[in-house]
Structure 1
């Protein structure tokens, strides 16, 4: 007999995969192809497409075949899968995690990379102060993790970032003219970094100024993940707001010199 929980899990996957692609396969661009017509992509990943809108964000970031990309603090590699499909055989993706992210997502990450199923992906583990990032990369993808560099974790120092070291490492990793995409949960305007500690959110004005203070040039923003109904007083893990938070998306560039 099939247990109810198992049946519901199967149904959830099927429902998540039942949404019709927005374009026909022969009309799809490289981003839509990677998201909707990628036979290698795990079915369970597709459940989040509607709320994460990956094809649009990949296009916004300008990911191209042949690029060298870091999925920084990418956890289980949900975006790694898509980035790998877009950059193709001539490109490469580095899935980089610190102990904090490995603690929560290592089984998912290892399953994704098992048996060399993503041949153009390299796993990179490192400490916050030595993330072992490659250099001369075209793009750094930083999704829903930037706020974590401001969370104090006195009970486990290996989980706590060093802000200055973090920025120094990403500047070293990016080639001149390289880009960094930042997606994060918005906090109340004017609160700076204080909401990161308790609500896992960060003020977008603070975020922009933070990257600009390190020499990055703001290029553009995308409002596709905005939710004006979000309650900024709630933790992002609150049941009624989880996966529905208001999110900002910024693209920055490292200067040519």
Structure 2
């Protein structure tokens, strides 16, 4: 019994240290005022702690774009773990429209930052995600955790959600975690929802993940925003940080804040837990 208590105490101490380190990184002034301002909406420490991140893990971050989470993940993992980022293709292979071109350019800028600030970021591995494929292909069962922040609606809009989720399932180790944060569509009834551009139905996303084999183990309201009415002219992009309508009703949309988001934790079951 004494040994059991000691182990729990040691784990609690380690968990507290990890949370303190995440807080230090999230609040680092070097991130810049714009990125720090978003902490109130994106809740990085609470979100990563909810997913169960630990500094020794092998973690894959999908489409980091500006590197908002990368700034936290890379230093947290660099000494004991391994961060891999899956960029937009930088060779233009996935440039289907102006928005994709914009994201590809941002990804290229992040790549330059990673190279220029190697001491701070650490040894980040890089691949491309051109949904549903990784380029080059990733080996199966290699990541303890895969993180996706507001990407699933894009995969769904382009018809790649199921296939992309299947590929995510393959690269996660048995027992590993898929952590997802996504703009949440409004529910009308238990069976129906409505979604303007950028929003995704929570039950639908869970169903797709479970179809490929993931088990939903927890949900959280960490990133919820009840002020978000989800009925805007330009969808989720009407809200900050994009503010797609420019000066039109800008103060009103700023008062709402960023979107209402689901936060979902899935696990790839161990073979012993899988149904026969």
TM range (shorter): 0.7 to 0.9
When the two chains are superposed, the root-mean-square deviation of aligned CA atoms in Å is 2.5
Q: Which runs of 4+ in 1 moved over 4 A?
A: 38-44
**1:61 maps to 2:51:** yes
State the alpha-carbon separation in 1 of the partners of residues 30 and 172 from structure 2.
29
Match for residue 214 of structure 1 among 212, 226, 237: 212
Please report the TM-score for the alignment, with normalisation by the length of structure 2. Answer: 0.71
Call closer, same or farther: CA 1:109–1:229 in 2, change over 3 Å.
Answer: same
Per-residue CA deviations over 1:26-79 (Å, capped at 9, x if unaligned) read: 99623212212x476455432321221111111111111111001112222211
The DSSP-based 3-state class of the residue aligned with 1:78 is coil
Call closer, same or farther: CA 1:103–1:228 in 2, change over 3 Å.
Answer: same
Please report the TM-score for the alignment, with normalisation by the length of structure 1. Answer: 0.76
- What does 1:64-213 correspond to in 2, within 5 Å? 64-98=54-88, 99=94, 100=100, 102-103=103-104, 105-115=106-116, 116-117=118-119, 118-132=121-135, 133=138, 135=140, 136-152=142-158, 162-189=160-187, 190-191=191-192, 195=195, 198-213=196-211
**1:237 maps to 2:216:** no
Structure 1, unpaired ranges of 5+: 1-25, 153-160
State the alpha-carbon separation in 1 of the partners of residues 124 and 32 from structure 2.
16
8 Å CA contact retained: 1:63, 1:86: no
| The 10-residue stretch of structure 1 (96-105 or 70-79) with the greater mean CA deviation from structure 2 | 96-105
Alpha-carbon distance, 1:183 to partner:
0.4
